[in-house]
Amino acid sequence: MARPPSNSPHKRAWQRMLSGRRLDLLDPSPFDIEIDDIAQGLARVARWNGQTMGDHAFSVAEHSVVVEDLCARLNRDWPMKWRMAALLHDAAEYVIGDMISPFKAALGLDYKAFEDRLETAIQVRFGLPGKLPAPIKKAIKQADRICAYFEATQIAGFAVDEAENFFGAPPSGLHVKIEPLPVKQAQILFLERFHSLLSAMESQG
């Protein structure tokens, strides 16, 4: 059941989700976060602000699945919880959207603190540490940049040398095919991967 809005006189920023949850953006609670809301939002958030080729945008939901797959390929000894962390690495964007890095930098530390609080609530909600270990964050970031390289060169109009300059060259022999999906398919893909990882996490204890 959704929590009622606070009677506090202080201003609050609330986002009502289709699940009925009301997420307080200034003080997000793990209890107000649902995976169906995340999948709904991420499947409708376009990478590259929609400036990509093809009939469909490349959604953050699909990007997240690719990053998780890359992490699994590059870190074969990882327990499932870190693969779940990879899948959820951009989950905060179901609320705040996919802001390009230069805009995040322009907004400064207040934005970063806001994003960090939301990420922490999401991770705790799904059985992960509120703060990921630095080596895990670094590995996820590496996979994120590899995915960005393939997105840039396949659907965002970047030349190879330009993409290498911004994102670095991917490891030799590693390739990802970027195929933007319709919204509903991207949403289903994300949810199926989430539930598969969750089941595996529970099996690992």
- 47 located within any domain: yes
From residue 158, alpha-carbon distances to 149, 164, 167 in Å are 9, 9, 11
- Which CATH number does the domain housing residue 190 bear? 1.10.3210.10
Largest CA distance in the chain: 58
- 194 located within any domain: yes
Q: pLDDT at residue 202 above 50?
A: yes
Rounded CA-CA distance 35/79 in Å is 21
Q: pLDDT at residue 99 above 70?
A: no
For residue 14, give the H/E element and its range: strand 14-16
Q: How confident is the model at residue 13 (pLDDT cuts 50, 70, 90)?
A: confident
Residue 199: per-residue pLDDT: 96
Q: Which two tokens stand for residue 10?
A: 């202080």
- 16 located within any domain: no
Rounded CA-CA distance 100/93 in Å is 11
Q: How many CB atoms lie within 10 A of CB 109?
A: 7
Rounded CA-CA distance 185/166 in Å is 30
Which tens digits make up the pLDDT trace of 117-136? Answer: 999 999 999 999 999 999 99
Residue 1: per-residue pLDDT: 44
Task: Give the orientation angle of helix 80-87 with respect to helix 60-74, to 10 degrees.
Answer: 150
Rounded CA-CA distance 176/63 in Å is 11
Rounded CA-CA distance 22/16 in Å is 4
- 34 located within any domain: yes
Rounded CA-CA distance 105/112 in Å is 9
- 17 located within any domain: no
From residue 187, alpha-carbon distances to 126, 131, 192 in Å are 18, 26, 9
Q: What is the mean pLDDT of residues 43-71?
A: 97
Which tens digits make up the pLDDT trace of 75-96? Answer: 999 999 999 999 999 999 998 8
Residue 104: per-residue pLDDT: 59
- 205 located within any domain: no
Cβ contact 151:166 at 8 Å: no
Domain count, the chain: 1
Cβ contact 62:189 at 8 Å: yes
Q: pLDDT at residue 9 above 70?
A: no
Residue 65: per-residue pLDDT: 98
- 11 located within any domain: no
- 9 located within any domain: no
Domain that holds residue 87: 25-200
